[in-house]
């Protein structure tokens, strides 16, 4: 987000706190739907601001959100989204690359910190034993990375796209929870089975300082790409 979008987001968050429980739940579903729409963050916040102002005004009169946008929230959102500029295919690809860069930075940092090689290195430093500045990258590391990243992207997309489904009110999101739970459970089982079959075979080793530099470069690439995309966030 650029500075203007962030400022608008903060104002919207403050207004959101003034909603009653019924309107707050509806707005949460609407915002989830907007987050996965093919539009810029700035336009998402503008829509959110307009809706919050209208809903809060209706709330003061004793009305709810349905008196403002009707009962079909999805149809209302689709109509608004259709009227706004969309990201080009190139911009959507850049957005995906940015997400992958940030996800890889986070997962890489976690793996670096909690790696058995890092723990062994710290132990050897404390014990005064010979130091080995290498981290082993195994098959299960790469499989875990791919599955976790893919699962995160899929879960966000599924929740966002189905947040305004008409049947949601009656099923209380059970199909969504079933899909997400099944995917996560299946992914975990797949990892465990692959580890059991293939084992923790080391694919390659990398110097711990080189790994730190690589993760830092990924983070810088993410920030640069974010800066480029912020200029277009209108």
Confidence of residue 230 (pLDDT cuts 50, 70, 90): low
Mean pLDDT over 204-233 rounds to 86
Mean pLDDT over 39-46 rounds to 89
Does 170 score more than 50 pLDDT?
no
The domains found in the chain, sorted by start residue, are: 3-82 (1.10.1900), 89-230 (no CATH)
Q: Which residue has the higher pLDDT, 67 or 181?
A: 67
Mean pLDDT over 71-97 rounds to 89
pLDDT for 171 equals 44
Average pLDDT along the chain: 83
Mean pLDDT over 105-112 rounds to 91
pLDDT for 191 equals 60
Can you tell me the distance from the alpha carbon of 47 to that of 65, in angstroms, rounded to the nearest whole number? 14
% of the chain surpassing 90 pLDDT: 34
Verdict on whether the full-model pTM lies above 0.85: no
Cα–Cα distances in angstroms (integers) from residue 104 to residues 28, 90, 117, in the given order = 28, 21, 19
Q: Which of 17-31, 78-92, 181-195 has the lowest mean pLDDT?
A: 181-195
DSSP, res 27: H
pLDDT for 190 equals 64
DSSP, res 55: H
Q: Which residues contact 26 (CB under 8 A, 6 or more apart)?
A: 64, 65, 73
Does 61 score more than 70 pLDDT?
yes
Q: Which residue has the higher pLDDT, 171 or 149?
A: 149
Phi-psi region of 173 (alpha: psi -120 to 50; beta: other; left: phi over 0): left
Does 49 score more than 90 pLDDT?
yes
Helix, strand, coil percentages for the chain (3-state, nearest 5): 75, 5, 20
Does 163 score more than 80 pLDDT?
yes
Mean pLDDT over 210-224 rounds to 94
pLDDT for 183 equals 61
Three-state DSSP class for 138?
strand
Confidence of residue 227 (pLDDT cuts 50, 70, 90): confident
pLDDT for 188 equals 61
Mean pLDDT over 206-233 rounds to 86
Asked if 208 and 124 touch (Cβ cutoff 8 Å), the reply is no
Please report where in the chains the tokens 């990243």 appear, as a residue. 149
> Of the spans 84-93, 99-108, 138-147, 176-185, which averages the highest pLDDT?
99-108
Q: Residue 67's closest CA among 58, 75, 77?
A: 58
């Amino acid at each position: 987000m650029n500075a203007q979008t962030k400022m608008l987001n903060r104002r919207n968050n403050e207004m959101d706190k003034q909603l009653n429980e019924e309107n707050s739940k509806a707005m949460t579903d609407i915002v989830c739907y907007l987050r996965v729409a093919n539009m810029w963050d700035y336009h998402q916040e503008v829509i959110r601001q307009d809706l919050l102002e209208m809903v809060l005004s209706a709330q003061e009169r004793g009305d709810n959100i349905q008196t403002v946008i009707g009962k079909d929230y999805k149809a209302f959102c689709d109509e608004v989204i259709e009227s706004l500029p969309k990201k080009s295919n190139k911009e959507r690809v850049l957005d995906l690359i940015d997400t992958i860069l940030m996800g890889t930075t986070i997962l890489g940092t976690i793996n670096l910190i909690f790696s058995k090689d890092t723990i062994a290195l710290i132990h050897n430093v404390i014990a005064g034993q010979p130091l080995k500045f290498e981290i082993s990258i195994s098959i299960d590391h790469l499989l875990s990375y791919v599955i976790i990243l893919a699962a995160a992207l899929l879960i966000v997309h599924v929740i966002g796209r189905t947040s305004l489904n008409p049947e949601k009110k009656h099923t209380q999101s059970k199909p969504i929870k079933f899909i997400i739970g099944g995917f996560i459970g299946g992914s975990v089982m797949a990892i465990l089975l692959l580890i059991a079959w293939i084992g923790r075979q080391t694919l390659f080793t990398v110097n711990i300082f080189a790994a730190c530099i690589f993760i830092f470069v990924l983070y810088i690439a993410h920030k640069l790409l974010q800066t480029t995309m912020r200029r277009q966030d209108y």
